Chains A and B, each alone.
Chain A
Amino acid sequence: MKLRKLTALVATTALCAPMAFAADMADEMTIVSWGGAYSNSQIKAYNEPYAEKTGVKIINDESSAEAVAKLRAMDEAGNVTWDVVDVVAADAMRLCDEGLAMEIDPDEHLAPAPDGTSAEEDFGDLLVSDCFIPQIVYSTTFGYRTDLVGDTAPTSVCDVFDLEAYPGKRALEKRPINNMEWALLCDGVAKEEVYDVLETEEGQERALAKLDTIKDNVIWWSAGADTPQLLADGEVVMGSTYNGRLFSVIEEQDQPVAMLWDAQVFDLDGWIIPAGLSDERKARALDYIYFATDTQRLADQAKYISYGPARASSAPLVGQHAELGIDMAPHMPTDPENATNTFLYNYSFWADYRDDIDAKFQAWLAK
């Protein structure tokens, strides 16, 4: 009899334990981001002030790279453990389509600009999806070793394809996006027509043929940290990566590297809130988002990393680097000096053609 009572007690405790965990979640939240210097800038600009203001315990997860897959798994397992997730715009669109992210009403859920402009107007065109709260504009561009390129530094993206003037290895991302556009551009296609050409079978062949000319000299990267490492090693002469990484290599790590802003490709990164959170957690996540995407906070982030704030009203507030004390504005991808020739990541094109071109690109890589 005694034993049976004990068993019952143990069983009830075991059953209650998970509920107990769920109940005190509200003053704790998990924020998912990319790690490295980028997470660091968010922690400094958003998380620390927010924790100080509200007393919430913030857990930082660095899983943004596999956010889509993990959110799918969480949804299937019926156990969403993330509260706010940092993803690129393309991923946000996918998550939104699959119903894995919550839809946001900018004017209700986001702070207006200090002068009273509504959030919808302040973010403007950058609100590319109903679930996506833009945070930064970043760009994928080239960096080159100043000591390995000879007397004339490269000035055009087509110098990447010029093995005679700039012999040596190049680092390119292991995916068709951006590479195909650059290849066509340097094969004589006008900038406005790049996507019209890339739609066609011949156009795709043409881009791959152009890439073929440098294929033997390419090191393919897949993580943002690869190109900075390869540049620092002198293993590559030039390589594409995110502009913030190059900023860190040049200004913070003092490496002999310079930026080639020509034909940089803008992309957006921002927050989503997973669908299916409990009311308490959803309220907490929305509160965080409201705080972290206001005009001042977005401008603050630019003190730690050279990505452009997504709000128009934040731009004038961008100041100096928190440690180096240099002006950040000239390092922003959106600075007029740097933005003379730019692309914007074409979401609709790549949503339609990504699978197809990906397959061709992978087959070409394996050849």
Chain B
Amino acid sequence: MALTPVQNQTPAFTAAVAACAGGFFGLFVGTAQGSGLLGLVIGAVLLGAMGFAFTHMLDQQKPIRWATTAIFGVLGFLFGGLPAAVLGLLFGWFAGWFTFWLATSSYRKRLPPYLTPGQVLWHFSFRVICGAIFVFLITPILVVMPLSFNAENFFTFTPEMLRFDPEGYSLRHYRDFFTNDDWQQALWNSLSIAPMATLLSVSFGTLAAIGLSQPHVPFRRAIMAVLISPMIVPLIISAAGMYFFYSRIGLQGTYFGVVLAHAALGIPFVIITVTATLVGFDRSLTRAAANMGAGPITTFFRIQMPLILPGVISGGLFAFITSFDEVVVVLFVGSAGQKTLPWQMFTGLREQISPTILAVATILVGISICLLTTVEFLRRRSERLRGMSPS
């Protein structure tokens, strides 16, 4: 696989780059411990020294890497017990691998030979930046998950949890969710509101998208803009408007009021996904169907619908998630009788910080992952069917 012939680096180069990486890690660890600067210096010196030393012992790669991993693991254990030991092992493994990766120039092997050093640097910086963004997006969600198995009633990593003591973990918050009437009522409300709102969004959104994709409809853009507006107007404005309007016509605080409000929020998603699928839809198919005697309704259900189905379903899933995750509008339009899961989480978080919220959040993240996987799967299928992707 080597594209470029390489030779070992000088100790100075390895030490300098390793020191930079060490400083980067040290900054984070140091900040967490109270002194960013000290962490940066220690990290830089530590990895710099390792880089310098290891360049002279390239023939001993394997034993040295094992030794580094073990030493960091033991150091971690001495500092902070089992969890720190695991982190130490990981870091030691990484540090060993990283220094030799630099020292032996392995990083250069797989890149084309014509790249300048600047381009090589950017190639890896880009990956580090992407990784960092990913970490910052995903960590807050991941942190919540272990906390939901907390045996205590607070959002706190207890010493027992950090020791991986089974005593520190429990399913009591999950049990609370499944046995507490408030939560069950909220779950039931969400499950009865979201599918109804999705059904309305999908029917209206699909019809609107089909109508608006006809070239002869007047004011297409203006109508489209109005229909998409719930997505653009700040939610709180829509919510306040709906509150006063629905109050006048007696829909405020009713099941149908909330369903209608959520349907209005979901329609833009359906319109956008269905319009996108319609771009690839061949209109001569409907003309051919009409030519063979099929009415518009038959044509729609037998010809058009099956072809745009992936767009409809993914739009529907977005509409479902919108309704299922929505808290602002339901706070205005609903009354306590329509208290949905997000509403219950919102008041729970404000009035009583209970890990039951985290348990629910974990369950919801799981559901969201399933739904989004389905959407992605459908999108790929639709692309494959339309021949947009060779796979």
CA distance A81 to B252 in the complex (A): 9
* B347 on interface, CB distance cutoff 8 Å: yes
Given contacts A18-B249, A77-B244, are A223 and B350 in contact (CB under 8 A)? Answer: yes
Most chain B CB atoms below 10 A, which of A19, A21, A62, A223: A62
* A229 on interface, CB distance cutoff 8 Å: yes
- Count how many pairs of residues, one from A and one from B, have CB atoms less than 8 Å apart in the complex: 78
* B154 on interface, CB distance cutoff 8 Å: yes
Minimum CB distance partner of A77 in chain B: B247
* B286 on interface, CB distance cutoff 8 Å: no
The interface on chain B, measured as residues whose beta carbon lies within 8 A of the other chain's beta carbons, has a size of 26
* A79 on interface, CB distance cutoff 8 Å: yes
The interface on chain A, measured as residues whose beta carbon lies within 8 A of the other chain's beta carbons, has a size of 33
| A33-65 contact mask (Cβ, 8 Å, vs B): 1 or 0 | 011110000000000000000000001111101
Minimum C-beta distance from B50 to chain A (A): 35
Given contacts A229-B155, A232-B156, are A34 and B254 in contact (CB under 8 A)? Answer: no
Q: In the complex, what residues of B have CB within 8 A of residue A35's CB? A: 347-348, 350-352
| B219-247 contact mask (Cβ, 8 Å, vs A): 1 or 0 | 00000000000000000000000011001
**Contact of B336 with A59 in the complex, beta carbons under 8 Å:** yes
**Contact of A37 with B335 in the complex, beta carbons under 8 Å:** no
Contact partner, B336, options A30, A34, A73, A226, Cβ 8 Å: A30
* A154 on interface, CB distance cutoff 8 Å: no
Q: In the complex, what residues of B have CB within 8 A of residue A19's CB? A: 250
**Contact of A232 with B154 in the complex, beta carbons under 8 Å:** yes
**Contact of A34 with B156 in the complex, beta carbons under 8 Å:** no
Contact partner, A60, options B252, B253, B336, B353, Cβ 8 Å: B336
Q: In the complex, what residues of B have CB within 8 A of residue A60's CB? A: 182, 336
Minimum C-beta distance from A222 to chain B (A): 9
Q: In the complex, what residues of A have CB within 8 A of residue B352's CB? A: 35-37, 225
Residues in B167-183 with C-beta less than 8 Å from chain A: 182
* A233 on interface, CB distance cutoff 8 Å: yes
* B70 on interface, CB distance cutoff 8 Å: no
* A356 on interface, CB distance cutoff 8 Å: no
Residues in A60-106 with C-beta less than 8 Å from chain B: 60-63, 65, 73-74, 76-79, 81
**Contact of B351 with A18 in the complex, beta carbons under 8 Å:** no
**Contact of B351 with A65 in the complex, beta carbons under 8 Å:** yes
Q: In the complex, what residues of A have CB within 8 A of residue B247's CB? A: 74, 77-79
Report which B residues bind A (CB closer than 8 A): 152-156, 182, 243-244, 247-254, 335-337, 339, 347-348, 350-353
Report which A residues bind B (CB closer than 8 A): 17-19, 21-22, 30, 32, 34-37, 59-63, 65, 73-74, 76-79, 81, 223-226, 228-229, 232-233, 253
